[in-house]
Amino acid sequence: MQGWRITMEDAHAAILDLQAKYRSKTSEPTSPDQRLSFFGVYDGHGGDKVALFAGEKVHQIVANQEAFAKGDIEQALKDGFLATDRAILDDPRYEEEVSGCTASVGVISRDKIWVANAGDSRTVLGVKGRAKPLSFDHKPQNEGEKARISAAGGFVDFGRVNGNLALSRAIGDFEFKKSAELSPEQQIVTAYPDVTTHEITEDDEFLVIACDGIWDCQSSQAVVEFVRRGIAAKQDLYRICENMMDNCLSSNSETGGVGCDNMTMVIVGLLHGKTKEEWYNTIAERVANGDGPVAPPEVAAEFRGPGVRPGTRHQFDESPDDYDLDTDSNSRRAFGVRSGRIILLGDGTEVHTGQDEDDLFDATEEEDEEKDVVQKQVRNSTANSGLDAVRGHREDTPGPELTQKPAVQNAETAPVSASPASINTETSNDENKAAKS
């Protein structure tokens, strides 16, 4: 979804059989026991060229690494990210390119997930309704990132690299990678990823990969619960993505950027050898039995975010079955509205309110002026009624104060986790996946 941005600078990739597409000479499907699937989200900044290159090439470059042929997927991902930088530098079409992009990708086998991340896009695993982070945001203020930036001759100002870039690892952004004395991993900004390895278990239900246009509006736990409710309602995965993006979209461009960014989201279902229908039924049964957290049932009818347009309502079953997700133009669909809503704040807090949406989001200038008049009248009335009492007190005795409760504001997102260099999380079991974005 383009959102309020002038251009769409995100890209994504979904390759169900990576070996058949890029390693096999015959292009015959790889056996399920050996098959590797690749999913990635690339959030561009400063332009879309690097993000588009990454969306088209990263999976191919990773598959062509020597480590990939040896079965060392973790090393192949690390080498592949750095090789993507070199491929861009070696391409004369990008000689003067100044843009860059995040990269958060997942490679999935029957029993294991590898997640490589550079930047502040994020990959989260849904484990019976609980969010398990498989990546960690790379922000300049993180201690390890800040130390590397400083050692390379850069600085962090107002949470930005050299006062400019709001993330500390990225593909591209070559103006921050000019030190000939330093390795690619040691540059002010590096494409070198953290890689997390996870052994799949029967409790693992789905993977979510998304850019910060989603994570700036919703917590990881809130997204997992939202997706789980949609699956329990037998929604197609692309429609759940669409509903989440609509939910995050701001009603206007005056929200300080929250809900205004490009948004890209990929959901990967972990089928564990089941059919797609059996997978849906398994999660629906768990939800019905209260097995793990899930967004409230009202979500299926009217899940609302802090910035969604007035006069709209999410109705999971209202959109046509043949509706195709269009990341450039799917942000203008309209729905009906009821009184009362459930608002999910950025930290996952649910706020239940009986107010109509117009009352909650749409106070007009005229209404504000009327409130000011009423408040002045109350102040005058209060001052006059207490005048005699005030006269009997010392001159410096404070009079009655008219207090106002602050309006409900969006909670801030959860603090960014520190980024370990490489993480292994253990457990074990089965496979499979279905993806939409």
Candidates 285, 268, 265; CA nearest to 205 is 268
The per-residue pLDDT for 299 is 66
Q: Is the pLDDT of residue 416 over 90?
A: no
**Domains plus CATH for the chain?**
10-326 (3.60.40.10)
Q: Is the pLDDT of residue 359 over 90?
A: no
Task: Output the 3-class SS for 350-418.
Answer: EEEECCCHHHHHCCCHHHHHHHHHHHHHHHHHHHHHCHHHHHCCCCCCCCCCCCCCCCCCCCCCCCCCC
Q: What is the mean pLDDT of residues 115-143?
A: 97
The per-residue pLDDT for 122 is 97
The per-residue pLDDT for 3 is 66
The per-residue pLDDT for 255 is 63
Q: Is the pLDDT of residue 252 over 80?
A: no
DSSP E strand stretches across 129-203: 130-133, 156-157, 160-161, 171-172, 194-199
Q: Is the pLDDT of residue 407 over 90?
A: no
Residue 406 CB contacts under 8 Å (≥ 6 apart), including other chains: none
Q: Is the pLDDT of residue 397 over 90?
A: no
Residue 288 exposed, middle or buried by CB count within 10 Å (0-12, 13-18, 19+): exposed
Rounded to whole angstroms, the Cα distance separating 217 from 352 reads: 18
Per-residue pLDDT band for 360 (boundaries 50, 70, 90) equals very low
Two tokens, residue 280? 């849906």
Q: Answer with the residue of higher pLDDT: 331 or 179.
A: 179
Question: Is 0.85 surpassed by the pTM of this model?
Answer: no
Q: What is the pLDDT of residues 105-125, one digit of tens each?
A: 999 999 999 999 999 999 999
Q: Answer with the residue of higher pLDDT: 256 or 160.
A: 160
Contact 197, 227 (CB under 8 A): no
**Which parts of 152-191 fold into alpha helices (H)?**
none
Per-residue pLDDT band for 57 (boundaries 50, 70, 90) equals very high
Q: Is the pLDDT of residue 320 over 90?
A: no
Q: What are phi and psi of 265, to 5 degrees?
A: -145, 135
Rounded to whole angstroms, the Cα distance separating 184 from 200 reads: 32
Per-residue pLDDT band for 22 (boundaries 50, 70, 90) equals confident
Rounded to whole angstroms, the Cα distance separating 10 from 325 reads: 14
The per-residue pLDDT for 21 is 87
